[in-house]
Chain A
């Protein structure tokens, strides 16, 4: 029982990290119809920037607070300088473009930080563990669950309660009509792309002490995030949240109890969902 509870907590932690990845992936798809294949690269960039900033400032928190900013700038530039010229073309061209960027970002990271694996120490305040309902939970993992939940809440408030959020929702429903109503959809696209990759970068920064920081984590996090988005439904934030936690817990429990079947089960789940509900559990059914 103790072991199962610990695994569920670990699953929730992984689920929260997946949510930070898949929220942006899902938003970008919902608004722009782009499957951003270099979303994992931003997760990796965020992790490395946070590592360097943290080392330079001598504080993990500085890394977490500022590590995502370079990624947001890069993402905004990428949308404004490249992706936006492809909106008139078939959507697959944009997918191909983001695939090209995975190579570029991967080598930029290798140039700057090298291929070694970096371990990020847990900040002092969060060392050790606490007991919650008779379960011993490492403090940092508890922090990640709270942190992820907080980001999800803020994101929900932003999308549902703010004026810009209303514009985004209008854009997701019908970009052409929203544009006709005087909303600057073009700028919105850039902003949402930057927000999405910023969330991924934040996820990477927060994940440092748990997953480690290394070259190649981009692909490793991208695939589960893809599965999350497919299961939750492309373009649905609620779907991304629910299925992040679902996939996080199933994957972690699976790896603990059925190590031979875990990887297999997740892909099988994705295939079944895609075949029965091509737009996912909460999908909006476009594209």
Chain B
């Protein structure tokens, strides 16, 4: 189910890429290798439920947060703005899905739609204010806005459940299959992940994506050439917010529970960490960063009480010596066919 859109979607994208950037002599081989790699990864993703409940839940969690991290990478890695308040959009949507489900009895599907729309609108409004500044003030302003939402979630106890959280969300069903079934839920999340991965890839390859990278590389020059830099930043911020909202909605499906932690600045920091660990400015990097982050959290926390220490050390080492991240390093030194694929 998830492998389908992965293979079908990725093929045309890689085809054009190979035609453009094929200076290595055998672009066709590269494209073939990439297509094979996509097929293998896609099949592996589809087959995860065979590996048992624990693995399925873990991979599903990784994929949900990977959507979140990929959306942040659009701002941090591609547009060059360091946001420390991205949890606002993830959390807003997760709350929308859960609250509409619990209090208004909406089906999760309508909730998901509402969540994405809400977080996109919120990103549009918050982004409108935030892009007026850049650098450190941008970082602080995004953080302030997300803490504003956090304080609402904490204080509006009757609706949000405050710090205790809100339970009682009923997962919807898909064509008669209940999402309470772990494998079905997983496949839905995996499909969502592949959709976002593919969509962001197409966006980055589009002229709009190129202008975002241009803003990151040299804002003044882009402005001098005549590009509407502010509008590009706002578009990037809004899309990132909407995609984070999609991730947040899926998180609500996954967890069937939401608490104010989901809007806290620590989560905004965690997701920055995921992006940097994997490699900012790449599509796949944040996915790998998310996997590393959650593995450290789950695997190490069962082995040692002090997983945060190891996570911190890993992150410090990454910032000091490997700023391009794990995936960035692979792309730098890996085989040519992989490098062309970002």
Which residues from chain A sit less than 8 Å from chain B, CB to CB? 29, 33, 35, 37, 82, 85-86, 89, 91-93, 95-97, 99-104, 106-108, 110-111, 219, 223, 226-227, 230, 234, 260-261, 263-264, 267-268, 270-271, 274-275, 278-279, 287
Contact = CB atoms under 8 A, between A and B. Distances in A.
A264 B151 contact: yes
B144 to A, nearest CB: 5
B314 to A, nearest CB: 8
A91 B82 CA distance: 11
B109 to A, nearest CB: 32
Contacts of B200: none
Given A104-B313, A271-B144, A99 B272 contact: yes
Given A35-B139, A230-B144, A104 B151 contact: no
A91 B308 contact: no
Contacts of A85: 320
A107 to B, nearest CB: 4
B82 A95 contact: yes
Interface stretch (B3-11, B127-135, B178-186, B241-249): B127-135
Given A263-B154, A264-B152, A271-B141, A110 B306 contact: yes
B320 A86 contact: yes
B319 A100 contact: yes
B174 interface: no
A245 B56 CA distance: 52
B106 interface: no
A33 B266 CA distance: 22
Contacts of B140: 35, 226, 230, 270, 274
Given A101-B316, A106-B308, A110-B306, A223 B265 contact: yes
Interface in B100-147: 129, 132-133, 135-137, 139-141, 143-145, 147
A190 to B, nearest CB: 17
A254 to B, nearest CB: 12
A271 B148 contact: yes
Contacts of B82: 92, 95
Q: Is the interface of B mostly helix, strand, loop or mixed?
A: helix
- Which bracket fits the contact residues of B? 35 or more
A91 B135 CA distance: 9
Given A86-B319, A96-B315, 13 more contacts: A86-B320, A92-B82, A92-B135, A99-B315, A100-B319, A103-B309, A103-B315, A107-B306, A227-B144, A234-B136, A264-B152, A275-B132, A278-B132
Contacts of A86: 319-320
B269 interface: yes
User: By CB atoms of chain B within 10 A, which of A99, A110, A270 has the most?
Assistant: A99
A270 to B, nearest CB: 5
Nearest to B149: A267
A261 to B, nearest CB: 8
B204 interface: no
A271 to B, nearest CB: 5
B312 A103 contact: yes
A156 B294 CA distance: 46
B144 A100 contact: no
B316 A33 contact: no
B240 interface: no
Contacts of A106: 308, 312
Given A103-B315, A104-B309, A219-B266, A278 B323 contact: no
Contacts of A101: 312, 316
26 contacts: A35-B139, A86-B319, A89-B323, A91-B136, A92-B135, A92-B139, A93-B319, A95-B82, A96-B272, A99-B269, A104-B316, A108-B309, A110-B306, A111-B306, A223-B265, A227-B144, A234-B136, A261-B155, A263-B151, A263-B154, A263-B155, A267-B144, A267-B151, A271-B145, A271-B148, A278-B132
Contacts of A270: 140, 144
